[in-house]
Structure 1
Amino acid sequence: MNSKNILDISDIDAPLYRVYSKRRFLELVSTGKNPLVKPRLWDDPFENFFLNSEISDPSGDNISIEGLAEDWHGQCWTLNEDTDAMWRIYSHDKDGIKVRTTIRKLFDSFYDDTETFASLKFLIGKVQYRKEAEIAAFMGSTSFSDIAFGGQAIGFARLLCVKREAFEHEREVRLLFQDTNPKRSDGKAVLFDFDVNAICDEVMVDPRLDDAQVSALTAEIQAAGCTLPVLQSPLYRVPKFTLRL
């Protein structure tokens, strides 16, 4: 692990969570491959405010950084343990599957120090939430040379870990990969080895499922090869209180 490639994270043993669709999770278990996708495929079009930018050269001509943009891939995780928004956004059909790991375990499994220029390729960062005016002011006062100073990837990665404050509730942590030569992308994603049973500590299913649905989904998860405990989120569990007479 390269600690310089861990950005704005104070506790690398903090729990980390991600909700997969059932199809994606069963593929993850059965294939042992985890895809990181290009940021242009993320939902929020504002996500790519940096990679969609152009560079103005001394003569006033604009230069596209599309080639650089195509090199980056990422995956979003969250520090939120269990929220209503998480299930409703990422578990549309109530069949989402949430995994729990830690930042350390996730990054250890991801970072490959045998790769040439590994320090330029593998990064993880906590998302910083900013007002849109603050983002615009920063972009207006900085230069491409400032961001790329020293030929490191950290400046670019930090900008990929900036979102508007309207999304602050997400508490995201982003796994980032810069696909430098030799290229590994298939045009949309890069696949990384991911052993669910070794990297994750727990699997949790949607709180809105009834008992029969939980049993059926648990059986599918186990049949795919997952040996982790499968629990149901207690988010909507109704407490029973006893009052004194």
Structure 2
Amino acid sequence: MKVIGTISKKLKEKPYIYRIELLDRFEKLLSDKEIVFVRPSTWQDPLENLIFNAKLVKDGKEYHHPVKEKIYSQCWSYEGDSYALWQIYTTKKNDKGEFKRHLGVRITTKLDKLQQISNLNNGDFYYGQVNYLCKYQLEKLPKDLSIIKSLRDTNLNENHLKTLLIKRKSYHYENEVRLIANPIDKLIDKTDNRLCRLKIEPMNFITSVRFDPAMPYKDFKSKKEELIDKFGFRPKQITQSTYFKKNKFVIKL
């Protein structure tokens, strides 16, 4: 798996990244032995995928860049246990279209284990650390000659991919790392071409599992036993976040 852009000293020294999945999706990941990437056009933030989602004009006409349909991505973080990330990544729309918080699981992997994605799947695969820019920096990008030159190229190039590593500074707390794929057609979901499904070996890919802080302790114990008995995880690999634990401090006046 090839690196795009620059990796910080902090991430190099502690090369672990984390992703929060909904509980049912985590269970499906283990049973299907695959992770799901999405087209960046599905990201909710209107300034995500900043360059390709801009209005492109070529020869006086609006232009849809063909590369947009070839790129798939998945978002991870090098931030450890985070209250904000638990809230954001487990709050999804239910069947009624209402936003609701669901139970989640935080999985951990190591940068060198990402090579497994390239080994088990056909296509081109990359990862890079997101660069958070201020508003005035973002406003300069549509006139950046190197970006304009790269967009004139209809073949996928690294400069196209680097545009996916740009985000507004207000999201800096996410400390995001993005995995990016240009997969062969066979890996694209036949029922929804916005998704591609990549094979992994979960027990080698995942280094640790942390369950949702809102999960009742008895349910956590049951899930932990299931991971140990059914999939072979070691007990020390499985913990539960303590963010929602009750305040037990006592202050004597």
Same fold (TM over 0.5): yes
Match of 1:232 in 2: 240
Of 90, 99, 113, the match for 2:107:
99
Match of 2:19 in 1: 18
Does the residue aligned with 1:160 lie in a helix, a strand or coil? helix
Distance 2:15 2:213 in 1: 23
Distance 2:23 2:179 in 1: 21
Mark the CA change 1:182 to 1:216 in structure 2 (over 3 Å): closer, same or farther.
closer
CA drift of 1:27 comes to 0.3
Mark the CA change 1:155 to 1:147 in structure 2 (over 3 Å): closer, same or farther.
farther
The answer for unaligned runs of 5 or more in structure 1 is: none
Matched, 1:134 2:142: no
Mark the CA change 1:31 to 1:226 in structure 2 (over 3 Å): closer, same or farther.
farther
Match of 1:27 in 2: 28
Match of 2:209 in 1: 203
Matched to 2:181, the amino acid is F
Aligned residue pair count: 234
Distance 2:54 2:248 in 1: 55
* Structural mapping, 1:126-205, within 5 Å: 126-142=129-145, 143-146=147-150, 153-179=157-183, 182=185, 184-186=187-189, 187-205=193-211
Mark the CA change 1:199 to 1:113 in structure 2 (over 3 Å): closer, same or farther.
closer
RMSD over aligned Cα atoms:
3.0
CA drift of 1:241 comes to 7.6
CA drift of 1:49 comes to 2.1
Distance 1:144 1:183 in 2: 31
Match of 1:90 in 2: 89
Deviations 1:201-235 (A, max 9, x none): 11111223332131233345456635243211233
Contact 2:49 2:163 in 1 (8 A): no
TM-score normalised over the length of structure 1: 0.82
Stretches of 4+ aligned residues off by more than 6 angstroms: 238-243
Distance 2:57 2:154 in 1: 20
Mark the CA change 1:149 to 1:51 in structure 2 (over 3 Å): closer, same or farther.
closer
Deviations 1:149-208 (A, max 9, x none): 7966211111101111111100000000124x6563221211111222111111111223
Match of 1:61 in 2: 61
CA drift of 1:88 comes to 1.4
Does the residue aligned with 2:85 lie in a helix, a strand or coil? helix
CA drift of 1:48 comes to 2.6
**Greater mean alpha carbon deviation, residues 222-231 or residues 165-174:** 222-231
CA drift of 1:13 comes to 5.6
Mark the CA change 1:224 to 1:30 in structure 2 (over 3 Å): closer, same or farther.
farther
Matched, 1:108 2:109: no
Contact 2:20 2:89 in 1 (8 A): yes
The answer for unaligned runs of 5 or more in structure 2 is: 92-100
**Greater mean alpha carbon deviation, residues 170-179 or residues 227-236:** 227-236
Matched to 2:84, the amino acid is A
Does the residue aligned with 2:242 lie in a helix, a strand or coil? coil
Matched to 1:108, the amino acid is Q
